[in-house]
Amino acid sequence: MTSTNEIRRSFLDYFGAAGHEIVPSAPLVPFNDPTLMFTNAGMVPFKNVFTGLETRATKRATSSQKCVRAGGKHNDLDNVGYTARHHTFFEMLGNFSFGDYFKEQAITHAWTLLTREWGLPKDKLLVTVYHTDDEAFGLWQKIAGLSDDRIIRIPTSDNFWSMGDTGPCGPCSEIFYDHGDHIFGGPPGSPDEDGDRFIEIWNLVFMQFEQAADGTRTNLPSPSIDTGMGIERVAAVLQGQHDNYDTDTFRALIAASESLTGTKAEGESRASHRVIADHLRSSSFLLADGVLPSNEGRGYVLRRIMRRAMRHAHLLGAKEPLMHRLVGSLVTEMGQAFPELGRAQPLVEETLLREEVQFRRTLANGLKLLDEEAGHLGEGDSLPGATAFRLYDTFGFPYDLTEDALRARGVSVDRAGFEAAMAQQKAAARAAWKGSGQTADSEVWFDIAEREGATEFTGYTANIGEGVV
């Protein structure tokens, strides 16, 4: 079996041999884009090269980039544990051309690597192109010899990439693997495309245009290439598995949580083990890159991920904090490729332990309340926003944790009600503060608290349990 570590090596070696500089993964906190919460694609560290702000010594690069998609524009948090292909943390393998080669070579490389180097059967692969991109359509015919019905024209933004409202943009072409008709799902562009039969493994972006503020597009003088392939998805294919969670890395992590909890990843426990393995990876890598749990911004996304995993540990019957005891297995699996993980191991373990001890103090009571309030609700019902807010305010349950807890029973949460309750509490706290006869300074303070998130805000209200406001 080809291990995930071997696949990463093989990808980087292939593109290294084809004249690409092998670039180590950048941190998960983007150094070049304050508007982006986490690095969420392989091209992120190269943004300024694509826009021309920065030049590199080499015009070709390849990397296996750490990515987190758990907030902002790309948020896969709710998919985790429930689809075969989504993680909050994953690695994106990529090859990049900065104004050097373009479509023909990008397609040739992708096809050669997949079918010659890695030996994937042609009849399991199909591709999409942007509906007007006749050039890409013709190249797939010519290079891969794919029949017309295996080159699907897609008219939506799924196959048109842009960096932002202005800047480089262009059509893209995605490569899908057909896992077989025993799995539900239709080909891309069909009504059942969200199923898990046809899984997108690789996206080739052809940066061809420059978009101006008024929306007009002009041809870039030297078009560029950006590609991204999820290592976990291609590992599943190369290891003869359908599901990312059945690959070597995830099996090792799930075996560890099975043994520590004395439960099997089957039936009702299946999603819990998956969520724990996934969230262990995202939490540990975020901590290793310097993010710490807090009540605002990146730190709050991290805290939400950690607490969600911790609820699942509790569901599996863990009587003691669990997450920190899994870090060793993760370092065994991924520490060689990402040495920062091993270096940060003590910090990661300590932070996970501290957070789990703290959260477990209120977790059981919160779940009891949830049971009382939602016990009678069934499929299609909705939990009142005020209850979700109490869970948040008093028991430190992030909103999405409550949602996740009710999901298995088909119960949703009234988000508008939750937000209204939150706004009301803020207004009440503000009024109380004003009533204490403070001067204009307090106004400034509240504005800062709201802008920065409410970490400091908690000290001034009476009934905050875990201080998550």
Give me the least distance between CB of 317 and ligand ATP, in Å please: 28
Distances (CA, A) of 252 to 255, 257, 274, 291, 387: 5, 9, 12, 25, 38
Q: What are the structure tokens assigned to 112, written together?
A: 């050669």
Residue least distant from Mg ion (Cβ): 203
* Nearer of residues 204 and 363 to Mg ion, judged by Cβ: 204
Distances (CA, A) of 359 to 153, 201, 349, 366: 49, 37, 15, 10
Burial-class residue 316 by CB neighbours within 10 Å (0-12, 13-18, 19+).
buried
Q: Within 10 A of 300 (CB to CB), how many other CB atoms are there?
A: 18
The entry of ligand ATP, Mg ion, none that residue 228 binds, CB within 5 to 8 Å by partner kind:
ligand ATP
Give me the least distance between CB of 456 and Mg ion, in Å please: 35
* Nearer of residues 226 and 355 to ligand ATP, judged by Cβ: 226
The entry of ligand ATP, Mg ion, none that residue 85 binds, CB within 5 to 8 Å by partner kind:
ligand ATP
The entry of ligand ATP, Mg ion, none that residue 324 binds, CB within 5 to 8 Å by partner kind:
none
* Nearer of residues 199 and 469 to ligand ATP, judged by Cβ: 199
* Nearer of residues 90 and 338 to ligand ATP, judged by Cβ: 90
Give me the least distance between CB of 418 and ligand ATP, in Å please: 25
Rule CB under 5 A: which residues touch Mg ion? 200, 203
Rule CB under 6 A: which residues touch ligand ATP? 69, 76, 85-87, 90, 92, 200-203, 228-230, 232-233
Q: Within 10 A of 358 (CB to CB), how many other CB atoms are there?
A: 17
The entry of ligand ATP, Mg ion, none that residue 466 binds, CB within 5 to 8 Å by partner kind:
none
Q: Within 10 A of 147 (CB to CB), how many other CB atoms are there?
A: 11
Q: Nearest 5 degrees, angle CA 306-CA 307-CA 311?
A: 120
Q: What are the structure tokens assigned to 33, written together?
A: 């884009």
Among 105, 124, 77, 127, CA closest to 302: 77
* Nearer of residues 76 and 355 to ligand ATP, judged by Cβ: 76
Q: What are the structure tokens assigned to 355, written together?
A: 């957070």
Give me the least distance between CB of 385 and ligand ATP, in Å please: 28
The entry of ligand ATP, Mg ion, none that residue 69 binds, CB within 5 to 8 Å by partner kind:
ligand ATP
Distance CA 293, CA 288 (A): 12
* Nearer of residues 153 and 325 to ligand ATP, judged by Cβ: 153
The entry of Mg ion, ligand ATP, none that residue 303 binds, CB within 5 to 8 Å by partner kind:
none
Helix (H) or strand (E) holding 74: strand 74-75
